[in-house]
Structure 1
Amino acid sequence: MRPMVRSLYLLSIATLAVQPASGKAESPEGQAMDAQTVLALKSLQLLDQRMHATGYRLVSANAEFCKETVPHLGVLLHDIEQYGDPATARFAFGFTSPIAINAVAPDSPAAIAELAAGDGLKAIDGIAVQDIAVDTEKLAKEKPEYRRIAAVKATLMEAGVDGQAELVVQRGGVNQMITLAPVETCPSQFQIRVSGKREASADGKMVSISSTLAEYVLDDDELAAIAAHELAHNLLKHRERLNAQKVNRGFFGQFGKSAGRIKAAEIEADRLSVWLMANAGYDPKAAIRFWTRYGKQHGKGIFSASTHYRWKKRVKLFEEEIAKMQAVEAVAGKYAPPLLAVSEPN
């Protein structure tokens, strides 16, 4: 049984074991909760935690090769207002305050400090979370329910700039002050986006992988293959480059110069991805396994446009790039990615 399917299966059994015959689970306050909704939320949290761990591992392991770095504590936050039913979210996730920890990356500063999912976040560097200003103009593109969490995340990142961050977290009704020393990582955040489509994207700052695609992969190495490809787009600033070149991303982007430039960016992202994977301890051949299986089942792959290689050519590219990497001598177990060492093309 696949690891993720098995975990969701066991979670389903656990949920069904405690739910009343009516199909409702009961909260500590005696409020009936729909068991399927609770299960869906817990399943989403498993995906969030898996994605967060994979992303942190990629950006931390490759920090020495990134021209820009950012402080990272290894925590993923969520806001109870993100969920349509706050009462059920509180029951499913154990919210003790409106903003709480959703995931902690293994071996991160947060993990070393023994922070855990469910811990409520009360203050950052002496600023109470409820007092953090939300710049609605700056966050206008964010949905209203995501603006507060975006402001808190920004404050958390700023807190680590001076080499340490003081957090007040609530656990079991008790507030604790914890001092963390962030590590420098490559810049990029990672998220699971709930969608029935198998898709992934990068916007320059965020890597997004759909829940359906995350559930399709067979193991963490395959998830890392997808995440590393999208991370490569961000690190190589492909979005900025394509915008500067006035590349059309609509229907006409499938033709002419626009199509050629998009394809060139996709090839670069594939080439860089296997180096990022290897440096983070993932098997770069997972990219070959994933695209071979996906290609046989779905043809070209996630995207059907002419801007992407067909899967067989894509697999050959991975094989060639892995061979190049293996011909280079690793230093302390790391390979310096050539694409991160060269200057950006005009």
Structure 2
Amino acid sequence: MSGALRSLDARAEASRRAAGWRALALAAAAAALYLGPALLGGRVLSACVVLAIFAVMAYGLDLVLSDLGEVSLAHTVFFAAGAYAASMLATRAGWGGWATLLGALAAAALIAAFLGLITLRLREFVFSLVTYAAAVVAAAIAHNWEFLGGSDGIVGVPPLDLSVGPLRFAAGNDAELWPVAFALLLATLWLVARFRRSRLGTLAVMSHLNPRLATMSGVDVGRVRLAVLVLSAPVTGAAGWLYAYQRAYVGPDLFETYFLVLMLTAVVIIGRRLLFGPLLGTALILGQERFLSFGGDVDAIVLGGALIVVLAFFPGGLVGLWRAVMARAS
């Protein structure tokens, strides 16, 4: 009996040590990822700021597409809502960065709640059509409503100010924005990982894979879908918040199809429900655009073509393709 107890204690100790080494490895990787762009600076640092912002944008859609199995075409609205809320509160009300962040999160969540109450009782392509119609309507409003700046948008967004009491922090360029973008990305990764280990994450997958069984088990599938959509919207809205400060301008171009296709491609190209999938997918897309560009129109064709090829031939993404190749090789 004592031998069995010693064996259990040894296993527990080995597990604790392994967890400690994993945490140390993750901390070292995070430090390298942060310091690398900061040391290289210039074009690389600027690209990494945009990469972090767009990856956060994609993670919001990832929660709905990968966990709920719903294709939301309205996440550009949440992205734009975060950007517009931040820019308007900063330029017209003089709010600081923390207050505009709360405003951006609230704006995205409220719009998601409204759309969710309308659409999440619908299924499959009908849901996608309604969310796409919402994006079209939102784009038309942004183009024509002077309160939102109309077709000219909102210019002159001030530098991001995240000062707290005597601690002063302002970011007016990409080098100064990089710590904020990196922190936002880390917070998003933590949130997604916690969500997928949570009860809501489990219920979301159950509602996706077998909604009838979930209903028979006492799960309110409609409420689960609404909760996940409302959770996902502020994630994408937070990306819009930082993008407004990074560009110092917000306009109707945020509703362009490019942002939607980028999000969709980033989520599916590596593989769904992979924690680092959208980050790596975004890195592939922006790496091609920034460092192997063929020109604006050709890059758009490459991006759209990549989405079509993945969905048509490699629904499991590059990870699924790799697993299939290895299975055949063995």
Please give the range of the TM-score, normalised by the shorter of the 2 chains. under 0.3
Bigger RCO of structures 1 and 2 (CA < 8 A, at least 6 apart)? 2
> Normalised by the size of structure 1, how large is the TM-score?
0.27
Q: Which structure: greater strand fraction?
A: 1
Q: Which structure: greater helix fraction?
A: 2
> Normalised by the size of structure 2, how large is the TM-score?
0.27
